Amino acid sequence: MASTVIKGGTVVTADLTYEADVKVEGGRIVEIGKGLSGDKVLDATGCYVMPGGIDPHVHLEMPFMGTYSADDFESGTRAGLAGGTTMVVDFCLPSPGQSLLDALSMWHNKTSRATADYSFHMAITWWGEQVFNDMETVVRQKGINSFKHFMAYKGALMVDDDEMFSSFQRCAELGALAMVHAENGDVVAQMQAKLLAEGNTGPEAHAYSRPAEVEGEAANRAIMIADMAGVPLYIVHLSCEQGHEAVRRARAKGMRVYGEPLIQHLTLDEAEYAHPDWDHAARRVMSPPFRNKQHQDSLWAGLSSGSLQVVATDHCAFTTAQKRTGYGDFTKIPNGTGGLEDRMPMLWTHGVATGRLTMNEFVAVTSTNIAKILNIYPKKGAILVGADADIVVWDPNREKTISAASQQSSIDYNVFEGQHVKGLPRFTLTRGHVAIEESKVSTREGHGAFVARPPVTAVNKALSTWKELVAPRKVERSGIPVTGV
Ligand code: URP
Ligand code: ZN
Ligand code: ZN
Ligand code: ZN
């Protein structure tokens, strides 16, 4: 079997920084040390050798708002690799009444051209006995240990509190992670109707219809319900101080709650929606919307202090033509933005180069933390012997200006257009295959494989032990109470 040695670099993991060569064979890391040799050498002089990024929140070829997101598993994973991301986690979305297993087959059918590894979260979009039963199969036989609940998108993906509580309890029983899109969908629907009735039809009204309170309320509600169900909770695309405050409070109380800001919310703000060009503003319509600088500061502080653990993209790219279906009615603009190729360079530039994050924290929030939360560590998220050789050789001095003209994503614009980034992959390896060498792309269609994720993390065990200890217990009493005394 041919081996590859990454030579002369500095290994940077979530907890260590040291000089070593890394040898890869058969898709895995087989040796780490000084003076290694192999059949092929990759020169990592001046570079950091880090675990490849994991983006736990993408929507590739997603059926949504009457259309499909434009990047599929080929272009999406290629975009990821170009930016140092070697694994993505997509969301399987059953239609109302559809079995989870049927939906899962449909999602697996989309992945044959994936160029990097992937996994799925399962969404709970309706509730019934079949869903309850399917959840067990999904966890025990299908390698999925996380269930997403949309608290928004009323009339489409949204679930209500009794559905959410039922599902959270089932997650707890099965040793799975509960996830939420935290926005109060009832309030959003009313605000949308009012804005439209008042003639506010443009993309800026999208932001007005989803203020931070809408997110803070839903985050709080989900946290309380998760506490009662005894399940760990992961809040996707957490965008504001109100949501972050709820997470901080829960964690201070000892709860296992995780928050995932997106690179878009960290670096782009609400001024984008005031742009005079309709296309510019509509291309940035996503939920939750971009916020102001105070919210951004809160998210950065959360990453530095550890109250927020993961940076994702929610990559859900729509072309300008798709966005234009919402001209005259902002509620019809497909919600979503891209970012897969730009997450790591943007986070390095705005996080590490500014001193907000250490290099080790960068690795933690782009890869290792989510690998642990999703129970795939150290197969993923690690530079260790035996781990998958999903590696990015990061050159802190390579730079570029982000432009749609040179991106891998199939859409016709980039929300980060014109941003200058310093810190880019020199090489990206997916299970040992060198898919990216500076700007040369050598991805292999079909190379990407499904990553099964076993249930019952240490956190699930601790929570179920605790719930058992404090479970209601009947008080046995003898005799009949005497009345009238
Ligand atoms: O606007 C967004 N975020 N689109 C993707 C679907 C979702 O809510 O995650
Ligand atoms: Zn109900
Ligand atoms: Zn969402
Ligand atoms: Zn999403």
Beta partners for residue 100, in sequence order = none
DSSP letters of 78-135?
A: HHHHHTTEEEEEEEE-PPTT--HHHHHHHHHTT-TT-SSEEEEEEE--S-SHHHHHHH
**Minimum-distance ligand 1 atom for the alpha carbon of 287:** 1
Contact 93, 118 (CB under 8 A): no
How buried is residue 303: exposed, middle or buried, by Cβ count under 10 Å (0-12/13-18/19+)? buried
Which residue puts its alpha carbon closest to atom 4 of ligand 1? 336
Measured in angstroms, how far is the CA atom of residue 112 from the centroid of ligand 1? 24
Residue 6: pLDDT band with limits 50, 70, 90: very high
3-state DSSP assignment of residue 4: strand
* 480: pLDDT strictly greater than 90: no
**Minimum-distance ligand 1 atom for the alpha carbon of 157:** 8
* 388: pLDDT strictly greater than 80: yes
Residue 367: pLDDT band with limits 50, 70, 90: very high
Measured in angstroms, how far is the CA atom of residue 319 from the centroid of ligand 4? 17
Rounded CA gap, 95 and 130, in Å?
A: 13
Strand 177-181 relative to strand 233-235, pairing:
parallel
**Minimum-distance ligand 1 atom for the alpha carbon of 335:** 1
Measured in angstroms, how far is the CA atom of residue 157 from the centroid of ligand 2? 13
Domain containing residue 141: 52-386+397-420+449-463
CATH number at residue 370: 3.20.20.140
Residue 482: pLDDT band with limits 50, 70, 90: confident
What value does the mean pLDDT take over residues 289-307? 98
Residue 456 confidence (pLDDT): 86
Sheet holding 3-7, edge to edge: 28-33, 21-25, 3-7, 40-43
User: Does some domain include residue 442?
Assistant: no
User: Does some domain include residue 332?
Assistant: yes
Residue 136: pLDDT band with limits 50, 70, 90: very high
What pTM was estimated for this model as a whole?
0.97
* 127: pLDDT strictly greater than 80: yes
Q: What is the pLDDT of residues 69-126, one digit of tens each?
A: 999 999 999 999 999 999 999 999 999 999 999 999 999 999 999 999 999 999 999 9
Which residue puts its alpha carbon closest to atom 9 of ligand 1? 314
**Minimum-distance ligand 1 atom for the alpha carbon of 69:** 5
* 310: pLDDT strictly greater than 80: yes
* 352: pLDDT strictly greater than 80: yes
3-state DSSP assignment of residue 359: helix
Pocket probe for ligand 1: among 55, 57, 59, 181, the residue whose CB has the most ligand atoms within 8 Å is 59
Q: What is the dihedral of CA 339, 325, 151, 62, to 10 degrees?
A: -50
Measured in angstroms, how far is the CA atom of residue 120 from the centroid of ligand 3? 15
Residue 485: pLDDT band with limits 50, 70, 90: low
Q: Which ligand is closest in space to the CA of residue 166?
A: 2
User: Does some domain include residue 187?
Assistant: yes
Tell me which residue has tokens 């309320």: 217
Q: How far is CA 125 from CA 108, 164, 272, 460, in A?
A: 18, 10, 31, 23
Residue 319 confidence (pLDDT): 98
Type of residue at 151: M
User: Does some domain include residue 14?
Assistant: no
Type of residue at 246: A
Contact 232, 176 (CB under 8 A): no
User: Does some domain include residue 262?
Assistant: yes
User: Does some domain include residue 136?
Assistant: yes
**Of all residues in the chain, what percent carry a pLDDT higher than 90?**
97
Q: What is the pLDDT of residues 230-272, one digit of tens each?
A: 999 999 999 999 999 999 999 999 999 999 999 999 999 999 9
Pocket residues: Cβ below 6 A from ligand 1: 59, 181, 237, 286-287, 314, 316, 335-336
Q: Which ligand is closest in space to the CA of residue 159?
A: 2
**Minimum-distance ligand 1 atom for the alpha carbon of 59:** 5
User: Does some domain include residue 437?
Assistant: no
Measured in angstroms, how far is the CA atom of residue 151 from the centroid of ligand 3? 9
Number of domains observed in the structure of the chain: 1
Rounded CA gap, 248 and 81, in Å?
A: 33
* Residue 213 DSSP class: H
**Minimum-distance ligand 1 atom for the alpha carbon of 286:** 1
CB within 8 A of 336, min separation 6: which ones? 59, 62, 64, 69, 285, 286, 314, 315, 316, 317, 318
* 193: pLDDT strictly greater than 70: yes
Residue 404: pLDDT band with limits 50, 70, 90: very high
* 325: pLDDT strictly greater than 80: yes
Residue 274 confidence (pLDDT): 97
Residue 483: pLDDT band with limits 50, 70, 90: confident
Q: What is the pLDDT of residues 437-471, one digit of tens each?
A: 999 999 999 999 999 999 988 999 999 999 999 99
Q: Computed from CA positions of residues 257, 262, 266, 268, in that sequence, does the dihedral angle turn out positive or negative?
A: negative
User: Does some domain include residue 318?
Assistant: yes
Tell me which residue has tokens 């949308």: 192
Phi, psi at residue 268, to the nearest 5°?
-120, 145
Residue 102 confidence (pLDDT): 98
* 481: pLDDT strictly greater than 90: no
Measured in angstroms, how far is the CA atom of residue 365 from the centroid of ligand 4? 18
Pocket probe for ligand 1: among 68, 91, 316, the residue whose CB has the most ligand atoms within 8 Å is 316
**Of all residues in the chain, what percent carry a pLDDT higher than 70?**
100
Measured in angstroms, how far is the CA atom of residue 322 from the centroid of ligand 1? 15
